[in-house]
Amino acid sequence: MILNDGTTSITFTDQLVWSDEFSWSPVQQSQQYSIGGTLVIQEAKKLSGRPVTLIGGGSVWETKLTIKALHAASLLTYQQFTLTLNDGRALTVMFDKQNNPIEATALFTGQDELDSDQYTINTLRFVEV
């Protein structure tokens, strides 16, 4: 997978799964009853806001250098990225800062703190804009 903001590109593992790909609807619906008892339904298409949660389930490894690059990118304000998935789809996203955007843990304790040390990517959270 590739995360690109037009100047910087971060390539990371393609082993992550988009866990909430089918749990979001692009249509918002509201239902209310009128004073006369008739059900009034209003629908509108959402223009953005689809969550893109990539999970590794603890079995996806990445280098500390890549984790540091993803973390640094997640700290940028109002930054949009193109996220290219392994199937070639490209999404315009921002890191989901309302939730913890990156969850990664060191694979082994007592590592030497080298950029080549292995980490597991548990979760990367984005929102489509």
Separation of CA 25 from chain center: 17
Kindly tell me the burial class for residue 90, based on how many C-beta atoms sit within 10 Å of its own C-beta (0-12, 13-18, 19 or more).
exposed
Mean of the pLDDT values across residues 23-51?
A: 95
| pLDDT band for position 40 (cuts 50, 70, 90) | very high
| pLDDT band for position 58 (cuts 50, 70, 90) | confident
Torsion of CA 52, 55, 60, 61, to 10 degrees: 60
Mean of the pLDDT values across residues 45-62?
A: 92
Mean of the pLDDT values across residues 33-49?
A: 96
| pLDDT band for position 113 (cuts 50, 70, 90) | confident
How much of the chain, in percent, has pLDDT values that exceed 70? 99
Query: Does the pLDDT value for residue 14 go beyond 70?
Result: yes
Q: Which two tokens stand for residue 76?
A: 């940028």
Spatial distance between the Cα atoms of 126 and 56, rounded to a whole number of angstroms: 15
pLDDT confidence of residue 80: 97
Mean of the pLDDT values across residues 93-120?
A: 89
Full domain range(s) for residue 106: 2-128
Q: How many domains does the chain have?
A: 1
pLDDT confidence of residue 111: 65
Spatial distance between the Cα atoms of 17 and 85, rounded to a whole number of angstroms: 10
